[in-house]
Chains A and B, each alone.
Chain A
Amino acid sequence: MRGREDEWTGLMRSAMAGDDVAYHRLLKAITPVLRAAARRGLARAGQPPDQAEDIVQDILLAVHLKRHTWDSEAPFAPWLFAIARNKLIDALRRRGRRIFVNIDDFAETLPGEAPQETASASEVAAQLNTLPQRQRDVLQSIAVDSASIKDTAAKFSMSEGAVRVALHRGLAALTARLRDR
């Protein structure tokens, strides 16, 4: 545990110093841990685990947009888990009110069927469609078509700076919509 968390702290320090590869590795490394925590949380609240991926994506977006609140002298894991806990509680609260009825419906029509295990998430994708055209184009190009910022700039005849701005604004807008939905 100790070793893993020290490694995260090191990766995050490199990421904050501008190392995009370290940042990518860090996000990949924390995702399975977040996923397991989200599933445990859902199970304890008696909710189906297929929403775990939405929660994971919520947490990742918050980590990204709030990483300036991390103190690079402090260990990374307590900061990460505080954000994860916050997002998980939010998600359970929100779903708790809305979804219990649906679970009852589900249990009646499909008795005994185990909840489906899936790694797809629908909420980020759904909110993506509500973004302004330019932000959506840029996000889709980078996320779905795996294009670089440079290629994306060429594709839409934009400057790289404009692509970066649209990318960041798009991520911030996505997060705001997920929070306020």
Chain B
Amino acid sequence: MDTDQLIRTLAADNAHRAPRVGAVLTMALLVAAPLSILIFATFLGVRPDVMSAMHNPFFDMKFAVTLSLAIPAIIVSLHLSRPEALMRGWGWLLLLPVGLLAVAIGGEMMMAPAMPMTMRLVGKNSRVCLAAIPAMGLPLLAGALFGLRHGAPSRPALAGALAGMLSAGLAATLYASHCTDDSPLFVATWYTLATALVTAIGALVGSKVLRY
């Protein structure tokens, strides 16, 4: 086929209108979410003392941290789905959860400790945390990668890493309502490890499936 023929064919297909990447990503995440919620409902569930826990600012802080990871990661991943997009000027958004955690850790340090620091850090749920966030994150990651395939990222591994971050952030939001460890030290350690794992998987798979 010579190039003039190809151009004529492409012009004939101009009427075809594809949805925006944001719309496809939203749909894909909505399709994947019930799977993650099913895993949550089957194996974890909301902690029994949730009503009193809500009065604990460190419990609420966990949601602020996980959502401040998930929402900026969604925004940056959509930005990166445009081929000419640069990370410059956007990376600071991903530091939001880090800043929040630093403030929370500082706040906890200033209070009279209810438990020794090592106990707060290790907690009671570190293993569950390391398993649950990736397990609930993987269906969301599959959805996120499917949605982002609709875009045209120039750096597929980076876009995949962001898909991992947003999935881990959403999964961690679910998990935070189950976990009885509310110390920011626990969150900074185990949530971060679990997020890093999902992010690495996202980058690896993204580098293959997000090429266009």
Residue numbers of A with Cβ under 8 A of B are 15, 18, 20-21, 23-24, 27-28, 31, 53, 56-57, 60-62, 64-71, 74, 78-79, 81-83, 85-86, 90, 119-121, 124-125, 128, 139, 142-144, 146, 148-149, 164, 167-168, 171, 179
Query: Would you call A168 and B13 a contact (CB within 8 A)?
Result: yes
**How many angstroms between the C-alpha atoms of A18 and B13 in the bound complex?**
11
Given contacts A69-B21, A128-B1, A143-B1, contact A31 B7 (CB under 8 A): yes
Residues of A contacting B48 with CB < 8 Å? none
CB distance from A76 to the nearest CB of B (A): 10
Binds A, one of B77-85, B110-118, B120-128, B129-137: B77-85
- A124→B6 contact, CB < 8 A: yes
Main secondary structure of the interface of B (DSSP, over half): loop
Closest to B17 in A: A68
Q: Could you list some 11 contacts between A and B, CB below 8 A?
A: A20-B12, A57-B6, A60-B3, A60-B6, A67-B18, A68-B21, A70-B82, A82-B84, A143-B5, A146-B8, A168-B16
Do residues B10 and A171 form an inter-chain contact, with CB atoms below 8 A?
A: yes
List which B15-31 residues lie within 8 A (CB) of chain A: 15-21
The 5 closest A-B pairs by CB, nearest first: A82-B84, A82-B83, A24-B11, A66-B152, A68-B18
Residue contact B3 to A31, C-beta cutoff 8 Å: yes
* Contact in complex: B13, A60 (CB < 8 Å): no
**Interface positions of B (Cβ within 8 A of A):** 1-3, 5-21, 81-84, 150-152, 154, 211-212
User: Assuming A23-B14, A125-B1, is B154 touching A171 (CB within 8 A)?
Assistant: no
B211 neighbours in A (Cβ, 8 Å): 90, 179
Contact of B151 among A15, A69, A120, A171 (CB under 8 A): A69
Measured CA separation A18–B14 after assembly (Å): 7
Nearest residue (CB) in A for B152 is A66
Considering the complex, give the chain A residue whose CB is closest to the CB of B23. A68
Known A68-B18, A68-B20, A83-B152; contact A119-B3, beta-carbon cutoff 8 A? yes
Q: Shortest CB–CB separation between residue A139 and chain B, in angstroms?
A: 6
- Residue pair A28, B82 in contact (C-beta under 8 Å): no
- Provide the bound-state CA to CA distance between A70 and B152, in Å: 10
Of listed B10, B16, B82, B154, residue having the most chain A CB within 10 A: B10
Q: How far is the CB of B181 from chain A (nearest CB, A)?
A: 41
